[in-house]
Structure 1
Amino acid sequence: MKALITGATSGIGAALARRFVLDGNDVVLVGRSVERLASTADALRAAAPSARIETEQADLADLAQVHQLADRLAAQDAPDVVVSNAALIAPVDERDAAGIPLTVVVNYLAVYVLLRRLAEAFPAHPSRFVIVGAEPAGSAGLVVEVDDLSYTDADLLFPDDDLRAFALYGHSKNMDVMLTYTLAARLAGTGITVNGVHPGVIGRTGIMSGVPGIDAKVAAMLGATSGHETEAETGAETPYWVATAPELAGRTGVFFADRAPVETAAHTTDAARLDRLWATSAALTGMSA
């Protein structure tokens, strides 16, 4: 089996990569830093000398680089599993050239581009697409602005400046949930399945390092303590199960947590809203609707 993992140099991504190679699979590691990709690959080769480990450098905050990554991958053997794991929390005013917040670009639009491009490149190859999301209940009140992903009125996200960044993260993860359902429906019957998964609240991933002071505020808001956090290795368990479990063969368009399907908010399943988000995303990424 060949597994492609984004955000593969730390946290859940690195734990997933290790799990795949220890179980005898090959991996393609996607990350932003050449140095971190090399060190992660070296560690995996030491743990599993017989595994084939490849690296692909791409900054997912740059959609041109995401398209270039897809071009390179299209020229290689098809992956059997794709785990879209890369994510960040950035200040709302950190935006790309088109004015879209980087949190939305990395967490959602890059996922949209990469998975669509891979499905188009390998339409007849059975594979599992796994989109790592967030806890559905916690983001149930965050309704995606499906016609405008620029979020120019940051005051609408949250009254606290720092927590706006966390709220936008929740919006981006609801976009991922919606993509899970839409892409699964569009790929029905192709042999490609698309499922979402919540890995748990993972401690010490560094995802919030781009917003100074946000860690304590988020912990206070959620009532979180270290006792509620999950290690990356434990957080990788449900995504790995969704990616590999024989009993999930053919299962698609489902969001999982703790190895069980869970419902997401009604606004993430509404058919009209799903279509509108798809069209908006296509326009922003230069792809057909």
Structure 2
Amino acid sequence: MKWRGRRGSANVEDRRGMGGKGLAVGGGLGGLIIVLIVTLLGGNPGDLIGGMGESDQQAPYEETQKEKEDAEFVSVVLADTEDVWTEIFEEQGLTYKEPKLVLYSGSVQSACGTAGSSVGPFYCPGDQKLYIDLSFYQELQDKFDAPGDFAMAYVIAHEVGHHVQTLLGKTEEIHSLRSKLSETEYNKYQVRFELQADYYAGVWANHAQDMNVLEKGDLEEALNAASGVGDDTLQKKSQGYVVPESFTHGTSEQRKRWFYKGFQNGTIKGGDTFKAKEL
């Protein structure tokens, strides 16, 4: 992806070195975030309390040159999503409210609770912020076999997709179903929710192509990342077998398909995964 020397977002909040303190997981948004955060990468909900009891670190965070470049990269990607979604919302007669992106290290406190870096990047609808530990960039390559900068761009675009869902009222709509359905039935809605975020990530990638910032192999990197975080792939790696009833994000094939569908369409229309007969 062509990103060097381009505009970065002003909506980046650097909390690296600060740590996380407190816990806000339980009822309300906590129940939703356990699904939204932890299951993105097949994590353990117990990881959410990994930072509980830690005191904030006061020493300035000393970033490496690699971390500095990664921070600049995610800032540029976030800026691109701002441009794209502002335009799309205006076409719908709506106003796009830009989210904040929080850089953290180790653990972080959000409106949705305290999260450790092991849960991976996540979006919290409670404060409308994205949270990313830049160490995940390397983890994408080493753990999920998804190298390349556009693989990370896909992850950011997916989380921004959740922000779009929040602005459009879909997040609250899905959350309201949690107390009305069994876990198995709710998981089915959760899969459609996540696949819609993948679709929105694809919509962004389509516009990135129009902006002439994609390079050869970028699309393949994103598709590879989408495949790498599919429920079936993650479960096979972690436990050697799959349990479809427990899927919350969709299979590798489904995630790739909906991202690519969004990339082909390039519009918010066509992304209603909740009405789709087949995923």
Query: Above 0.5 in TM-score?
Result: no
TM-score by length of 2: 0.29
Q: TM-score with structure 1 length normalisation? A: 0.28
Normalized per residue, which structure has more strand?
1
